Amino acid sequence: MLIGRVKRNGRPILVSRLGPDWFNFTQAWMDMRQAVDGETAPEITDAVELIRSGLFTRATLSRVGEFVQRYGRMEQYRIEKPARWCPPGRPGKVLAMGRNYRAHVKEFDNRMPDSPVVFSKAASACIGSGEPIRIPQHAGRVDYEGEVAVVIGKTCSGVTPSAVREYIAGYTLINDVTARDMQRKAMGEGNPWFLAKSFDTFCPVGPVIVLADVFDWPPVIPIETRLNGELRQQSDTGHFIFSLDTIISYISRYITLEPGDLVATGTPEGVGPLQAGDVVEICAPEIGCLCNPVTSGE
Ligand code: ZN
């Protein structure tokens, strides 16, 4: 129960998976609407648009899956397992949590926060799995941060912790790439560190979004980060300082979260620097691996 986005013949399409088979969800959805419902459905090629339309649900994904299987059409829609992905969609905003794993707080010698630390990354920084993270010259130290991210399912404002679950559409992975030297300098001077988090390509997302109800509540999602094949981060979302319901409820007091918005939930211990030539891979069993090479460039 997942959705991803790839380019095919130069155009983006949504893809999903049935067992081992990846298929063209965009085309199957339109064909199903035509064949079964007799309606011409719009072409949807962005997961955020799918969520906004209320279609990223178990019911819709099952229905399309059944259509593809029942009529033996898999051959028609099948695609090769993608190696290079687009970000699943273009979110309205990307929010992130600082200091949400105890061991990571200790690693940077920060004090334990008494309320969630929330910051923003530019949505334009999003790239897909397989696309290069580009580190400009003179950027100083740039770190990877492997994180689980929440994908918001519907407009969310002033929700109580006990209601948060119903506002979550799914989960994905984010690499919260950070220009660390620039961030530290900004913090030391009492300035915001938005720029240090928001360089172009500094927000790999994906490879796919997995439907929320695939997980228990609260979800305990294991996450691992490997740098050039070597294990660097290993934890799970059961180690949060602030639970998911607290985080989303807290943010929603001040900011209206909208369908497709991403909330990265913080990184565990083991962050470290990236260099051109590295490959950084963030994996979770249900979500897959968000894998990005690192290049230097303006
Ligand atoms: Zn982070």
Cβ burial of 184 (10 Å; 0-12, 13-18, 19+) is: middle
| Distance (Å) from CA 72 to ligand 1 centroid | 44
pLDDT at 180: 95
| Distance (Å) from CA 73 to ligand 1 centroid | 42
SS (H, E, C) 139-198: CCCEEECEEEEEEECCCECCCCHHHHHHHEEEEEEEECCEEHHHHHHHHHCCCCCHHHHC
Instruction: Work out the mean pLDDT of the chain and round it to a whole number.
Output: 94
Query: Is residue 257's pLDDT more than 70?
Result: yes
pLDDT at 40: 95
Average pLDDT, integer, range 44-64: 96
| Distance (Å) from CA 26 to ligand 1 centroid | 32
User: What is the percentage of the chain residues whose pLDDT exceeds 90?
Assistant: 87
| Distance (Å) from CA 196 to ligand 1 centroid | 11
Average pLDDT, integer, range 228-257: 95
Query: Is residue 107's pLDDT more than 80?
Result: no
| Distance (Å) from CA 263 to ligand 1 centroid | 10
| Distance (Å) from CA 144 to ligand 1 centroid | 8
CATH topology of domain 94-297: Fumarylacetoacetate hydrolase; domain 2 (3.90.850)
Q: Do 151 and 51 touch, CB atoms closer than 8 A?
A: yes
Average pLDDT, integer, range 258-279: 96
| Distance (Å) from CA 116 to ligand 1 centroid | 13
| Distance (Å) from CA 266 to ligand 1 centroid | 5
| Distance (Å) from CA 176 to ligand 1 centroid | 5
| Distance (Å) from CA 99 to ligand 1 centroid | 8
pLDDT at 207: 97
Domain boundaries, the chain: 2-79, 94-297
Q: Do 168 and 243 touch, CB atoms closer than 8 A?
A: no
Question: Can you tell me the distance from the alpha carbon of 6 to that of 88, in angstroms, rounded to the nearest whole number?
Answer: 8
Task: Give 175-186 pLDDT, tens digit per residue.
Answer: 999 999 999 999
The 10 Å Cβ neighbour count of residue 20 is: 6
| Distance (Å) from CA 67 to ligand 1 centroid | 40
pLDDT at 109: 65
Average pLDDT, integer, range 114-128: 95
Fill in the amino acid letter for 147.
E
| Distance (Å) from CA 163 to ligand 1 centroid | 25
Average pLDDT, integer, range 83-108: 88
| Distance (Å) from CA 184 to ligand 1 centroid | 14
| Distance (Å) from CA 174 to ligand 1 centroid | 9
Question: Can you tell me the distance from the alpha carbon of 64 to that of 73, in angstroms, rounded to the nearest whole number?
Answer: 11
Per-residue pLDDT band for 115 (boundaries 50, 70, 90) equals confident
Per-residue pLDDT band for 218 (boundaries 50, 70, 90) equals very high
pLDDT at 206: 95
| Distance (Å) from CA 219 to ligand 1 centroid | 19
| Distance (Å) from CA 84 to ligand 1 centroid | 23
Question: Can you tell me the distance from the alpha carbon of 234 to that of 281, in angstroms, rounded to the nearest whole number?
Answer: 12
Task: Give 126-177 pLDDT, tens digit per residue.
Answer: 999 999 999 999 899 999 999 999 999 999 999 999 999 999 999 999 999 9
pLDDT at 298: 62
Q: Do 24 and 8 touch, CB atoms closer than 8 A?
A: yes
